[in-house]
Amino acid sequence: MNTLVLHAQPLLQAIAAVSTATLATIAAQLREATLPYVGSSALIIFTEDCTGRPQKKAGDEAIISRVSVAELDHLRSLVTGDGSAGDEARFAGEAGLAGNGGGSPWLGEAVLGGEKRPVLALSSPSNALLVLADPRPLPDPVDRGPAERLLRYLWTLAAERIREKVADAPPSYLIESRAASAERVSVTAELVDRHSTTLETLLAALRSPALTDDAARKAATETAAKALVGLRTLNDRTTELVEEPVSSAFQRLRDDLKPLMHFSGIDVQFIEPPVNGRALPGEVAHAARAIVRGLVLAMVDQGGVRRIRTQWDCDGENLLVNVRDDGPGELSEEAPNMARLGSRVEALNGRMSVDVMPGWGADVAVAIPLDPPARQMADVSEWKLGDRELEVLQLLAAGQRNRAIAAKLHISENTVKFHLRNIFRKVGASSRTEAIAMAHSKGLR
């Protein structure tokens, strides 16, 4: 009998765990679910749906603490066929790892976490990327096909779960994610400025006529120029992750609503935003699309709606959204689905107004600020933390792991653990997650 049939119950439990996982736990749940089919030392999810924290990781700390956006971008290009794989790499289909949908898996050697290692990478229909370090597929060729299809299924399920959770994120997540996005832009800009100056100075020196070794100068110049291009590319890529041109964000909304237009027979009209409008923060673009989709569905639920018009505009400080229908004018701002949308708008410090005209339809206007909300001033004096404990808690609240905290503060990981035990005792927390939540409630980010 097929071994997968014998393990039906664990499989169903794994599917349930992935389909109900939170954003914070989904990488760990997916890794646990996939281990019986494709083992790995680490699992990394790279998704643009979560612009503030696009990486979700589980497994070997030595890998997941060092993996970079540049490495994941390179792997994405290999999966999509836009990059060069090298002699060692090959498409997973050649090794019996082909799947259905979302592009062909890629299996080979690539740099991950700063070191070259075996990697299996898969994309998803939502353009998310799954990376397994040191993959170990089932040795039995009879079972390999079903196992690989299950891997693909579990990954697609996880990717859709991420999209679902981000679209329905609570206010605290949206605010935190926007702050993280702004911080990433700031840090990357600082990095680019520092290294650009270094490389430009190096180029000027190497191009000096005082240097007579032409061959050495040419080789060094080409190396430095390549590094500079790579650095600029990384900066552009990071900016793309946290900002989206208003026109492309609106086009994605049109694509999202195409199925409704096709199957419902409702005429959904789109008033294009100015093409030169200010770029939208990733969370604003994602939330705005989810809000418009929710409004359209709420309007359709009234019945008797033949036409819906949606319009985006930007005044330089706010994204202005307007959705209007020609229905019976029965849209209620207090209805559960509308109240839920209102909460999403409030989470971004926005405003939503509903103007209902019985017999003529409803007109909903939404304004969402483009700049992140001002950070709350932290006040943790009641916890009576020492200076070093406060530094550790700030880094913990920013999402840093023990190794990264130790490196930033020039202390050992054991010392970090010692400080964390004292912090947990003083703040009354029983876990890292609880301590982070308590720190965020006090304004520490």
Q: Quote the pLDDT of residue 236.
A: 59
* Cα distance between residue 384 and residue 374, in whole Å: 25
Distance of CA 175 to the CA centre of its chain: 14
* Cα distance between residue 342 and residue 295, in whole Å: 10
The residue behind tokens 């679209």 is: 167
Give the chain's radius of gyration (CA, Å): 25
Q: Quote the pLDDT of residue 100.
A: 37
Q: At what angle do helices 171-206 and 282-301 cross, to 10 degrees?
A: 150
Beta pairing class for 38-39 and 136-137: antiparallel
164: Cβ contacts below 8 Å, ≥ 6 apart: none
Q: Quote the pLDDT of residue 325.
A: 92
* Cα distance between residue 324 and residue 355, in whole Å: 9
Q: Between the CA of residue 109 and those of 118, 162, 302, what are the distances in Å?
A: 4, 27, 55
Beta pairing class for 307-314 and 267-271: parallel
Give the count of beta carbons closer than 10 Å to the beta carbon of residue 194. Answer: 11
Give the start-to-end residue ranges of the domains of the chain: 3-167, 171-243, 246-369, 381-441
Q: Quote the pLDDT of residue 95.
A: 38
Give the count of beta carbons closer than 10 Å to the beta carbon of residue 6. Answer: 9
Asked if 123 and 76 count as a contact pair (C-beta separation under 8 A), the reply is yes
246-369 and 381-441 in the same fold? no
CATH of the structural domain 381-441, one choice from 3.40.50.2000, 1.10.10.10, 3.40.50.620, 3.30.465.10: 1.10.10.10
* Cα distance between residue 130 and residue 393, in whole Å: 31
Q: Quote the pLDDT of residue 85.
A: 41
Could you please state the CATH topology (level 3) that the domain comprising 246-369 is classified under: Heat Shock Protein 90 (3.30.565)
201: Cβ contacts below 8 Å, ≥ 6 apart: none
Asked if 83 and 74 count as a contact pair (C-beta separation under 8 A), the reply is yes
Sign of CA dihedral 233, 46, 371, 353: positive
pLDDT in tens, the chain (445 residues): 445 455 577 788 888 888 888 877 888 899 998 888 888 999 999 886 665 567 788 898 888 888 887 788 889 888 877 554 443 333 344 334 433 344 568 889 999 988 899 999 998 887 889 999 999 865 444 455 677 788 888 998 998 888 877 766 555 555 556 555 555 555 566 566 566 666 666 676 667 677 667 776 776 777 677 776 766 666 555 555 567 788 888 888 888 787 766 667 788 889 888 877 778 877 788 888 888 888 988 888 888 888 999 998 888 788 899 999 998 888 888 888 888 888 888 877 888 999 988 888 999 999 998 876 555 556 778 888 888 888 898 888 877 888 888 888 888 888 999 999 999 988 888 888 788 878 877 777 6
The two structure tokens encoding residue 68 = 């970079």
pTM: 0.50
Q: Quote the pLDDT of residue 117.
A: 93
Q: Quote the pLDDT of residue 25.
A: 85
Q: Identity (one letter) of the amino acid at 212?
A: T
Q: So what CATH class is 3-167?
A: alpha beta
